[in-house]
């Protein structure tokens, strides 16, 4: 991803050019194509460019519109054609090949701060409104792109790179003990508005932040839809709809002439490869698609490479195998290009980082199926509760009977939920006993443990599995929790891999349209496909393979 940085003195103090330049220089590993800055009075913006789309080949940032609005952005927008048409209907004159950052500026000029409600895609940006003396910042719906900031007196710092903010001489290195406690308890910081450093904050997903001389204004601009349920008469219709959304998401991410896919033996990456090949074959531009399969040759007995090879051969895509057996897990830990901004449990991080660096020699866009299980995994109990609240007793009894017919009875889970119903305390996971006692009391870790383990979204029998995947505490409901689970540790690691490797990570199934469909359509999908003893994902993959098989001139079934 590209690197962005900004400094704003709300008091009107002049910008220090040397300081701004040093922060931009720190971001050089993120943007090898160009590094530029712009400053005017008390505001300064910087950018380190990584070109990943056809439209960005001649892009320069920070960019401006009519000299009034200036932007630094790491952004890739979905549905460009539809969005440009919407802007033109609002009276804007937009170039067909406008950069994504240029489209965001047009949106801001048209709608002001509510412009984020019209954006789709992955983005993290800051816009300086010279006339209103306002700095407007925003982060995408699911938090795929990071955004960190510091507000200290009249000083406001922003970047999509946490360690870039730490370079500023006025930033303290004091730690946030609550975040450290979360990591020790759950594997990562579960508060999506804070970081491991006391003074540095995170802009939560689906939020915007306006900074003016009067002060900051934080606003949530999007909430996952929970007001309606998608119902189809046939199970195949759920699959068809999701397949069309997945195809659109992959198409949005293939605005380039070369792309890579992290391929495993799983259904997620295999389906992405099939859809990507299909999109390339039918598109106006032929895309050079290559597969990359990180494997263990001897350290771990595994058939990952064998299955990945079968998929690649069927799709007629080249595949490169990258052995991880000799990876030194902690080598280069102090290199800013290698280190994660915050602690996350990922022992194989360095191995995948090396793999991504190899990929960057061939392409700038890397598709990945990481995190998809968190979005599409079917959960019976929330679905059953939904049916109960709506009084659909006949459907509840039928679907529960089908569910327990194809799955073993989870006696412990049932016992826990019965205890909740009758008012008894359910079994709690054992609290770790190895904490330093002073730190334990100072950070209130036992209260935090109880808070997250008893959260209504978290299954009581396996709370840490869900907590470690997302942020179920600072969000209002189950839909939020489900979407957050796609964008925490997995996204953090992939972003770091990509930035150090010199390419942009792409998560097609985290497109907000697809995520909304997963939330609103899951109950129907679960009641049809899952209760009949099969998953929707194999059907979707098979459909993609069949489509590709026909494209390649084959006949009959793809499997």
378-398 pLDDT tens trace? 566 667 777 788 888 888 888
**One domain for residues 14 and 143:** yes
Give CA–CA dist 74/135, Å, rounded.
16
Structure-model confidence comparison of residues 236 and 455, the more confident one: 236
Q: Do the domain assignments include residue 495?
A: no
Phi and psi (nearest 5°) for 370? -60, 140
CA angle 475, 157, 448 (to 5 degrees): 30
User: What pLDDT does residue 110 have?
Assistant: 97
> Residue 374: pLDDT band by 50, 70, 90 thresholds?
low
How many structural domains comprise the chain? 2
Q: pLDDT at residue 482 above 70?
A: no
User: What pLDDT does residue 324 have?
Assistant: 81
Range of the domain at 212: 3-220
**One domain for residues 208 and 150:** yes
**One domain for residues 275 and 205:** no
> Residue 503: pLDDT band by 50, 70, 90 thresholds?
low
| CATH code, domain with 360 | 3.40.50.620
Phi and psi (nearest 5°) for 216? -90, 155
**One domain for residues 280 and 351:** yes
**One domain for residues 195 and 286:** no
**One domain for residues 181 and 47:** yes
Q: Are residues 170 and 151 in contact, defined by beta-carbon separation less than 8 angstroms?
A: no
Q: pLDDT at residue 433 above 50?
A: yes
Q: Are residues 72 and 62 in contact, defined by beta-carbon separation less than 8 angstroms?
A: yes
Whole-model pTM: value is 0.80
78-92 pLDDT tens trace? 999 999 999 999 999
Structure-model confidence comparison of residues 397 and 351, the more confident one: 397
Q: Do the domain assignments include residue 470?
A: no
Domain end position, chosen among 188, 220, 252: 220
280-313 pLDDT tens trace? 988 777 899 999 998 888 888 778 888 899 999 9
Q: Do the domain assignments include residue 28?
A: yes
One DSSP character per residue, 487-524 reads SSHHHHHHHHHHHHHTSEEE-GGG-HHHHHHHHHHHHH
**One domain for residues 213 and 279:** no
User: What pLDDT does residue 536 have?
Assistant: 37
Q: Among 292, 238, 285, 233, which residue's Cα sits nearest to residue 262?
A: 292
199-243 pLDDT tens trace? 999 999 999 999 998 889 999 999 887 776 777 888 888 888 888
Q: Do the domain assignments include residue 334?
A: yes
Domain end position, chosen among 171, 191, 220: 220
User: What pLDDT does residue 370 have?
Assistant: 77
**One domain for residues 192 and 159:** yes
**One domain for residues 60 and 127:** yes
**One domain for residues 106 and 152:** yes
| CATH code, domain with 91 | 3.60.20.10
Among 141-150, 199-208, 360-369, which is the least confidently predicted range? 360-369
Q: pLDDT at residue 426 above 60?
A: no
> Residue 98: pLDDT band by 50, 70, 90 thresholds?
very high
What value does the mean pLDDT of the chain take? 79
Q: Do the domain assignments include residue 383?
A: no
Q: State the average pLDDT over residues 540-555.
A: 40
Those residues whose C-beta lies under 8 Å from the C-beta of residue 345, and which sit 6 or more positions away, are 187, 188, 468, 489
> Residue 99: pLDDT band by 50, 70, 90 thresholds?
very high
User: What pLDDT does residue 556 have?
Assistant: 31
User: What pLDDT does residue 48 have?
Assistant: 97
**One domain for residues 189 and 267:** no
Q: Do the domain assignments include residue 211?
A: yes
Q: Do the domain assignments include residue 337?
A: yes
Q: What is the dihedral of CA 108, 109, 114, 119, to 10 degrees?
A: -50
Among 17-31, 178-192, 428-442, which is the least confidently predicted range? 428-442
User: What pLDDT does residue 328 have?
Assistant: 76
Q: State the average pLDDT over residues 422-451.
A: 79
Q: State the average pLDDT over residues 109-138.
A: 97
CA angle 85, 508, 58 (to 5 degrees): 55
Q: pLDDT at residue 524 above 50?
A: no
Classify each residue of 135-174 as buried b or exposed e, where b means 16 or more C-beta atoms within 10 Å of its C-beta.
Answer: bbbbbbbbbbbbbbbbbeeebbbbbbbbbbbbbbeebeee
């Amino acid at each position: 991803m590209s690197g962005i940085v900004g400094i704003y003195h709300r008091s009107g103090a002049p910008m220090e050019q040397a300081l701004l330049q040093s922060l931009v220089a720190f971001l050089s590993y993120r943007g090898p194509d160009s590094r530029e800055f712009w400053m005017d009075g008390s505001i300064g913006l910087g950018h380190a460019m990584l070109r990943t789309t056809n439209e960005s080949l001649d892009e320069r940032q920070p960019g401006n519109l009519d000299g009034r609005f200036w932007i630094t952005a790491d952004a890739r927008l979905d549905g460009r054609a539809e969005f440009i048409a919407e802007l033109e209907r609002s009276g804007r004159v937009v170039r067909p090949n406008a950069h994504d950052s240029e489209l965001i500026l047009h949106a801001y000029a048209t709608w002001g701060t509510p412009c984020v409600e019209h954006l789709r895609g992955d983005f993290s940006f800051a816009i300086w409104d010279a006339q209103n003396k306002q700095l407007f910042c925003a982060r995408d719906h699911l938090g795929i792109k990071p955004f960190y900031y510091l507000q200290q007196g009249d000083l406001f710092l922003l970047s999509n790179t946490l360690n870039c903010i730490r370079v500023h001489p006025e930033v303290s290195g004091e730690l946030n003990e609550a975040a450290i406690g979360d990591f020790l308890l759950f594997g990562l910081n579960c508060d999506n508005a804070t970081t491991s450093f006391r003074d540095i904050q995170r802009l939560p997903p689906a939020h915007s932040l306006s900074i003016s001389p009067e002060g900051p204004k934080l606003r949530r601009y999007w909430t996952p839809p929970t007001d309606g349920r998608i119902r189809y008469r046939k199970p195949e219709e759920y699959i068809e709809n999701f397949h069309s959304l997945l195809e659109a998401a992959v198409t949005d991410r293939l605005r380039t002439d070369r792309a890579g896919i992290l391929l495993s033996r799983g259904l997620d990456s295999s389906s992405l490869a099939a859809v990507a090949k299909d999109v390339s074959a039918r598109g106006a531009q032929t895309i050079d698609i290559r597969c990359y399969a990180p494997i263990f040759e001897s350290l771990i007995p595994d058939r990952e490479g064998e299955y990945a090879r079968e998929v690649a051969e069927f799709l007629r895509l080249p595949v490169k195998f990258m052995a991880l057996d000799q990876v030194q897990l902690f080598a280069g830990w102090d290199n800013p290009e290698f280190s994660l901004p915050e602690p996350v449990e990922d022992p194989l991080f360095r191995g995948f980082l090396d793999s991504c660096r190899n990929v960057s020699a061939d392409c700038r866009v890397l598709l990945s199926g990481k995190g998809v299980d968190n979005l599409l995994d079917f959960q019976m109990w929330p679905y059953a509760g939904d049916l109960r609240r709506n009084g659909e007793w006949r459907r509840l009894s039928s679907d529960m009977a089908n569910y327990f017919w194809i799955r073993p009875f989870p006696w412990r889970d049932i016992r826990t939920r019965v205890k909740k119903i009758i008012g008894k305390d359910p079994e709690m996971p054992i609290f770790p006993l190895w904490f330093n006692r002073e730190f334990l009391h100072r950070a209130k870790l036992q209260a935090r443990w109880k808070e997250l383990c008893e959260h209504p979204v978290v299954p009581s029998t396996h709370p840490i599995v869900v907590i470690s995947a997302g942020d179920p505490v600072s969000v209002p409901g189950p839909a939020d929790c489900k979407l957050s689970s796609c964008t925490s540790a997995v996204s953090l690691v992939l972003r770091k891999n990509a930035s150090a490797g010199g390419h942009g990570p792409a998560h097609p199934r985290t497109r907000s349209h697809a995520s909304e469909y997963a939330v609103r359509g899951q109950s129907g999908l679960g009641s049809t496909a899952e209760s009949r003893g099969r998953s929707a994902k194999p059907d979707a993959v098979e459909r993609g393979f069949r489509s590709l098989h026909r494209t390649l001139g084959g006949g009959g079934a793809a499997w």
